[in-house]
Structure 1
Amino acid sequence: MPAPPSITQVLIVGSGPTGLTLACDLARRSVEVRIIDKAPGFPRSSRAKGPNPRSLEVLADLGVVDRILAAGSAPLPMRKYRNGLPVADMDPFEASRPTPDAPYDRPWLIAQWRLEEILRDRLAEYGVHVELGSEAIGLTQRPDAVAVTLADGRSIEARYVVGCDGGHSPVRKLLGVSFEGRTTEEQAMVCGDVAVDGPDRGFWHQWFDEDGGVMLCPIPGTRSGWWFQAAPERDGAGAPVPPSLESFRRLFAKHTGLPGDRLTRAELLSTYRVNERMADRYRVGRVLLAGDAAHVHAIAGGLGMNTGIQDAFNLGWKLALVVTGRAAPALLDTYQEERLPVAARTLGLTAERLRDTLDAIREPGGGLDTAITPETLGLGPDGDYPWSSLSRDTRPGRHGDIRRATHSPGGPANGPRAGDRAPDAPCRDAATGAPTRLSEVFAGPHFTLLGFGPDTADALRAAEADHGGLLRATGVDAGTRHDLNDVAGHARSAYGIERDTLVLVRPDNHVGLIAPAGDGRAVRDYLAL
């Protein structure tokens, strides 16, 4: 009799940035994970422009940010044209600087295929590889597992399945989850990777006229590669003309005034339509949705891929605790509780940015910089979870308090709330004097208990003794074994510390708990997930 098929712990369907981020996060937690994709080969499309500052923090935690920074470039200044002539140069990040609590002050320009390649390489370091040519066509849920049927007749069984398979998600459709919203044909855009001779590669070029425009952004790591985006030609019925080398040449000549034959190659062509849709549920039993499978947004602000990466980082630690038996399955309900409202706000933000950008480009000097606001960087309150059942504050007069602190990267007035992004800060290792950062303490699959001041020392020692495999206890001028010196006061300033305080930071680097210095019981209760 043949042996029964083995059951993997987590199966991820879809190997874009969301699926790869989740797979890397699970693999480093020693979770058995498989990741499949229906494509026969890995895509080479440039598509998304790159990670925003919050996603860079996530990628730093996963240990790949240095590779990404080396493979890409800082955002380029934008050169804007009218009637074929340059009218303005604009650098949206000219005045931006890293701050003690936010070391990344701008997004990073990198082709999506290169970002995915870096994540695949990281995943391979854990012995996990994407299984190509594996199309999911069926789902059967049982009380203890999910069976996924593939188009080639194979079946994969897993304790949990996560659909990271894009806006047309077969997993979402197999679950019967609605995807309400709208698709706007009037704002369609044709896109592709092209080779162009002539334009200065030190700029993102934007030609806008009353009847359309062309945008060219150089692809980092290439000599002649560019992202091409344009308002499409229309046929007699008003429908977008499918993209081709010939149509790109006509659009290029029309809007730039340059010879169309300077554009010598066009590939990986697509027509983008504005989609604003969101799933009404992120979890059905043992199957979850993330990234574009759960929400799609207008392109303005570049938040689509970034929202998916941050979905994965929110879900990874929760799924790992559940499949390893360290937390009850109900913990997975907090994924939807936290991320669905963020997606709803992102839909509103990107729609607003798109409207403002379309208004701006009607005027000379208007351009895509209008789409960039502090909210699109991912460091502000729009990505926080103060309402979450996982956000707790036991300080006197604060329990259940979800007031909005006056937080902004670079200098919060009274510190983060429970549920907010945990600020970074430069410190020194108390034992060696070596410079370090809070983000380096947070990095990894653990919770971090920060103890500000010597009155937290007993609670830190108790927490480490009780939860050593789950938690890293670190004192900040607390006089403990693992201690940091806040020599410049940046850590206390970032967290609004006025008296000795415990701060429990979740594995996804959000503040889970704020408690008085001696309230070790609050830490124990929180970790009884």
Structure 2
Amino acid sequence: MSRASDAVIDVVIVGAGPTGLALGVDLARRGVDALVVEKADGLFPGSRGKGLQPRTLEVLEDLGVLDAIFAAGGRYPVGMIWQDGERVGEHRMFDADEVKEAAGDSAFTEPWMVPQWRTQEILFARLEELGGRVEFGREVVGFDQDEDGVSVRFASGPGLRARYVVAADGGRSAVRRALGIGMTGETVDPKPVLVSDVRITGLDRDNWHVFPPRGDGDGYMAICPLAGTEDFQLVAQFPEGTAVDVSLDGIRKVAAARSHLAPEDVTEVRWASEFRPRAALADRFRSGRVFLAGDAAHVHSPAGGQGLNTSVQDAYNLGWKLGAVLSGGAPAALLDTYEEERRPIASQMLGISTGVHRGEVKRGAATVQLGLGYRESSLTAETRTDAGTIRAGDRAPDTTVGDVRLFDALRGPHWTLVAVGVAPPELPESVHVVSGEAQPTLGTGLFLVRPDGYVGWAGETDGGLLEYVTRLAL
């Protein structure tokens, strides 16, 4: 077992899903010595979380993987409703005009579909490109923490000593359970659901094929082509108490019973699982030097595509804070703001996911995640008496300042001072500066933008700005 006198890793990230890999990428580009450990022998093989919302696309652009994400995926196909082997109507997953309006200034005006396994491959490749590491076959079975760090134990092989640990090991998180942190939640729907990646003949790849219940007690079935692959994702709901058969024969029987497809039209099952939709929120997101992120902290119904997106944004929030404390000399108290900021967001997104599942909330403005922010955070300082549309705590807009696209200036692991119509003051070299004339979106003033793209401080003049910068050791 490693001791405090041994070499210490800055951060051990438990779980190589989208959350753990995104955090690994963010820490690697900050020069933080982080190691991702994963109990499985490889990356998760299924499509499960396949929808990337506009705000997550902005995050992925900053992390340097947007081109690969776009190359690997595609737009959401139009739903085609079938009945008795006939096409009887179309169904759109969301109102495109409403989503475009909700996207506002964002360059991304609709969700993008990429199977989860492919998103993970892309993040993994980016992590390796940055010099980051993943060790597979490393199952965490316990840990001990003290005021200096965390000693992590594994089912096999030597232990590790880390300054911090992040549990990104899913809804059944072993780390969360070892910490004794409970989850409060509910069963969203007691009916079991089959989700599988299959190869199918006899269906076009231009539509998301929807087969409503036939009235004989069975639930719906939907078969969606997965862009960038030859696969379809087949989802089917069953009556409560059903034992779901995830074998090839079992899935063939479901497909044939609920559609015009013949059993042999399902030629291969590449991955399959069964679940019951639930919503749950961890009672805490931190215990000492151990943090919870992603599904380890909040479990969503897949409806509305909020789970993976909220999880990646957990990583994006925590990454810059860990980097600032470990490499930049920021006070350790900065890490307290992770739970302060992300737990309310996760709670809000859980409500939306559950609402979408139950038909109470529409996909659209509520699900793109661009309006989320941290106005109430202790990190937020709004000093203007007459604040404009963009306030401290809000996501910085994707606008132009001078002749520079603001998001291009924000890209990277740094803070950025945006000065519009006001001369920028002298700040540490670590803070990038963008200046230009007053403009409609931002008006006039100074905006200090955090590394995760949210305005931390805003003012008409620089009064109080240096104090804020000094407090965070920028």
- Coarse TM-score class (shorter-chain normalised): over 0.9
Q: Per-residue deviation at 1:300?
A: 0.9
Cα separation, partners in 2 of 1:20 and 1:137, compared to 1, 3 Å: same
Letter paired with 1:451: A
Q: 1:505 aligned to 2:449?
A: yes
Cα distance in structure 1, aligned partners of 2:336 and 2:417 = 24
**Cross-structure match for 1:33:** 34
Letter paired with 2:471: A
**Cross-structure match for 1:230:** 236
Letter paired with 1:284: S
**Cross-structure match for 2:435:** 475
Q: How well do the aligned residues superpose, as a CA RMSD in angstroms?
A: 2.0
Match of 1:514 among 434, 437, 458: 458
Q: Per-residue deviation at 1:348?
A: 1.1
Tell me the secondary structure at the aligned position of residue 51 of structure 2. Answer: coil
Q: Per-residue deviation at 1:153?
A: 4.1
**Cross-structure match for 1:528:** 471
Segment drifting more, 24-33 vs 370-379: 370-379
Tell me the secondary structure at the aligned position of residue 318 of structure 1. Answer: helix
**C-alpha offsets along residues 65-95 of structure 1, whole Å, 9 cap, x if unaligned?**
0110011111111112234432222343543
Q: Does the 8 A contact of 2:62 with 2:412 survive in 1?
A: yes
**Cross-structure match for 1:444:** 412
Q: Does the 8 A contact of 2:402 with 2:436 survive in 1?
A: no
**Cross-structure match for 2:298:** 295
Structure 1 runs, 4 residues or longer, greater than 6 Å off: none
**Cross-structure match for 1:417:** 391
Q: Does the 8 A contact of 1:456 with 1:517 survive in 2?
A: no
**C-alpha offsets along residues 118-176 of structure 1, whole Å, 9 cap, x if unaligned?**
11111111211210000111110011110000110411100000000000001101111
Q: Does the 8 A contact of 2:73 with 2:112 survive in 1?
A: yes
Letter paired with 1:147: S
Letter paired with 2:380: S
**Cross-structure match for 2:363:** 372
Q: Does the 8 A contact of 1:513 with 1:523 survive in 2?
A: no
Q: 1:352 aligned to 2:364?
A: no
Cα distance in structure 2, aligned partners of 1:173 and 1:101 = 41
Cα distance in structure 1, aligned partners of 2:247 and 2:402 = 56
Q: Does the 8 A contact of 1:162 with 1:289 survive in 2?
A: yes
Tell me the secondary structure at the aligned position of residue 74 of structure 1. Answer: coil
Cα distance in structure 2, aligned partners of 1:189 and 1:205 = 17
**Cross-structure match for 1:73:** 74
**Cross-structure match for 1:281:** 284
Unaligned runs of 5+ in 1: 358-369, 399-413, 430-435, 478-485, 487-491
**Cross-structure match for 2:185:** 181
Cα separation, partners in 2 of 1:87 and 1:526, compared to 1, 3 Å: farther
Tell me the secondary structure at the aligned position of residue 154 of structure 1. Answer: coil
Q: Does the 8 A contact of 1:167 with 1:293 survive in 2?
A: yes
Give the share of equivalent positions with the same residue, in percent.
40
Match of 2:147 among 143, 147, 152: 143
Cα distance in structure 1, aligned partners of 2:245 and 2:226 = 23
**Cross-structure match for 1:112:** 116
Q: Does the 8 A contact of 2:12 with 2:165 survive in 1?
A: yes
Letter paired with 1:186: P
Q: Per-residue deviation at 1:258?
A: 2.4
Q: Per-residue deviation at 1:279?
A: 0.6
Cα distance in structure 2, aligned partners of 1:63 and 1:142 = 35
Tell me the secondary structure at the aligned position of residue 453 of structure 2. Answer: coil
Equivalenced residue count is: 464
Q: 1:124 aligned to 2:128?
A: yes
Letter paired with 2:106: A
Q: Does the 8 A contact of 1:415 with 1:493 survive in 2?
A: no
